[in-house]
Amino acid sequence: MARAALACSCRNEQPLSITFICAIMSTSRGTMSLVYMSFFTELKRRNVIRVALLYAIAGWIILQVTNVGVSLLHIPVWAGTMILVLLAIGFPLLLIFSWLYEITPAGIRKESVVDKGRSIVDKTASKLNCALIVLLVLALTGVVVDRFLPDAPTVAHNAPQ
């Protein structure tokens, strides 16, 4: 009887933590799939997936610029490795930050404090989509330029004899 009530409470709109507790205590497959669906729906609603994609693309562009900078500016080779490590450390921190906080007209607020009716998650999502498109265009332009434009011809100097 308690298990049936627990499974029913998971189908209602409950906070995500209650949904996870229901999934841990319940063994039915339906409840588990509901939890996974709820989790991914919540990730999308909080724009965590968009932020992760934006970070990954921006990180890739930063690494490409670092690669060029290392060869042109004679920066030590370990600079690229250091940037990669910093990006890797920043990624989980960014995911946690984007899960816990929301950008509002009044500034950055904890997600739990923002009223769901006054949330501007959709506006933030459209701004993130625009930023994602711009970064993708930049990344694709860089790849196309690198792959398809010919390199400068090398001139062979004749050695005096």
What residues of the chain score a pLDDT lower than 50? 1-28
Of the CA atoms within 13 Å of residue 57, those in its CB half-sphere come to 21
User: pLDDT at position 89, please?
Assistant: 97
For the chain, the first-to-last Cα distance in angstroms comes to 99
User: pLDDT at position 159, please?
Assistant: 58
User: pLDDT at position 92, please?
Assistant: 95
Task: Report d(CA 72, CA 52) in Å as an integer.
Answer: 30
CB 91 within 8 A of CB 55: yes
What is the tens place of the pLDDT at every residue in 27-60?
445 555 556 668 888 888 788 888 899 999 999 9
